[in-house]
Chains A and B, each alone.
Chain A
Amino acid sequence: MARRRILLPAAAAVLLIGLAAGPALACGGLIGPNGAVNLLRTTTFAGYHDGVEHYVTAFEYAGGGGAFGSLTPLPGVPTSVEKGGDWTLQRLLRETDPQSLLDARLAVPAAAGSAEELMKVRIDALDLTVLRGGAAEVGQWAKDHGFRLPPDAPEVLDFYASRSPIFLAAAFDPTAAAARGQAVGDGTPVHITIPVSNPWVPLRILGLGKTNGEAVTADVYLLTDRKPALLPAPTGRNGIALGHSAAASASLLSDLRSDRGMDWIPESGWLTKVEVNGTADQLRYDLAVDATGRTVPSKHAAGLDVVAPAAPSDGSVDVGRILATLGVMAGGVALMAILLTARPRPSGMAASR
């Protein structure tokens, strides 16, 4: 019997790595103070069933020369990346927050980053590449493809690469978008299928390119067989709040199942909505999920056990002081040597002189 697990509405999976693309000049000012995209509220749905996570999100066409892209950390190597259903995300919004539907933004500015390219897919005007590599490799890939990563990218990429060095880079082909008559704001839904043993929803990536204190907002929908356990718990004080938690209605499941590529939707499940309303410095974690709801989710999956690198020192360097200090240390060693060699001999030996 197929074991059903979680549908992780991974709005978080949409890691908006503000990849300022193109000919960004070395001297500042052309891309904006953050060097990244100003992201709108995003919505993502992730489902976990039979050890497979189904990730559905949308990438929003930002227009222009395709100057922006995005990177989404993935919990594993996907088996497929395909066009997502047309109404899944909207239907989820209607289920939990019908009033906000008209204002809902279902996309994320695109992105990209020299890593191993595991898969390349074109969906409409959207170029998607699944990458495997650490921070250095992804950074090089981004550079090779004309994207400029924001200044917090090295730390954020390390945060993810130490756990799952798989990323989905997305970027719109502006020529193709124009040929398709795609308007700014039009979203392209993408469905990513990922076999994983421990699902998680990346949240920290949502703050990429943002300054401390800058708002990060997103809606993350999870569909699981049972009420899941979440880590961190969405307390509302830590940047995430529980917006909905109830058995999924039959009508919702039926509607979702009827959308493209969504026939894997189970007959029953538990719908959870996690609202991300935090700041970039607050969201230093991801959302770990235990689909069974029986155990505490993995700290590792939440990124809570990732040891923060030593903060850059603010200490100053004065060459003269350094030399003087080294001199004093050398002097101390010399003094110790002299004192040891000058230590009085035992009285018996002195008397024998």
Chain B
Amino acid sequence: MTRGRWIAITALAGLLAIVAGGAAGAADTSARTIEIDIHYSHFTPSQVTVPAGVPIRFVIVNADPIDHEWIVGDAAVQERHRTGTETSHGARPTEQSIPAGGTVESVVTFAAPGPLQYICHLPGHEAYGMVGTLVVTGS
């Protein structure tokens, strides 16, 4: 192997290490944006993993001609909303109403690791499959 190739490979390995390290660092320290699309009454993606203690900027885009909700929380939170009577949401970062064709942004910092769900609790939407999983990992 030529000296030039050894140099290239060494440089590549170094570059990959730097890039990987940079990515890991960014995952722990920087604010991030996750877009969640709503189409035909389904969330995409339907599973998201985020670190605890880091602000996450969620951009929820509703492409449907009907209203939707994005309620993030544990089982108790979801159960409360299944029988709730709030006509709209937005006061809490983890509870948002997204009008038809609208986009809503919300910044959330999850304090502790654990599995959560995001669900639309408008009538029939959860049963139709408007459910997503949000996994909060340790920092």
Contact = CB atoms under 8 A, between A and B. Distances in A.
A14 to B, nearest CB: 21
Given A149-B66, A151-B66, A338 B12 contact: yes
Nearest to B33: A319
Nearest to A154: B64
For chain B, which range describes its interface: under 10, 10 to 19, 20 to 34, or 35 or more residues? 35 or more
B24 A28 contact: no
A153 interface: yes
B127 A33 contact: yes
B129 to A, nearest CB: 8
Contacts of A1: none
Contacts of A148: 66-67, 122-123
B124 A151 contact: yes
A27 to B, nearest CB: 3
A320 B66 contact: no
Contacts of B4: 342-344
Interface string B84-119: 111111000000010011000000000000000000
Contacts of A34: 123-124, 127
Interface stretch (A124-132, A170-178, A268-276, A325-333): A325-333
Contacts of B47: 314-317
Contact of B40 (A29, A134, A309): A309
Contact of B23 (A27, A154, A320): A320
A143 B7 CA distance: 65
Interface residues of A, number: 61
B20 interface: yes
A52 to B, nearest CB: 31
Given A28-B81, A316-B48, A138 B65 contact: yes
Contacts of A152: 40-41, 128
Q: Which of B23, B66, B81 has the most CB of A within 10 A?
A: B66
Given A26-B121, A33-B124, A136-B100, A338 B8 contact: yes
Interface string A31-54: 111111000000000000000000
Contacts of A102: none
Contact of A317 (B23, B49, B65): B49
A318 B137 CA distance: 10
B128 A211 contact: yes
B2 A342 contact: yes
Contacts of A134: 65
Contacts of A140: 65, 100
Given A319-B50, A342-B7, A327 B20 contact: yes
A327 to B, nearest CB: 3
20 contacts: A23-B87, A25-B84, A25-B86, A26-B67, A27-B121, A29-B123, A32-B123, A33-B123, A148-B67, A151-B125, A153-B66, A312-B44, A316-B133, A318-B48, A319-B50, A319-B51, A327-B19, A327-B23, A338-B11, A344-B4
Interface of A: 20, 23-36, 134-140, 142-143, 148-155, 157, 209, 211, 309, 312-321, 323-324, 326-328, 330-331, 334-335, 338-339, 341-344
Top-5 shortest CB links A-B: A35-B124, A139-B65, A27-B84, A327-B19, A316-B47
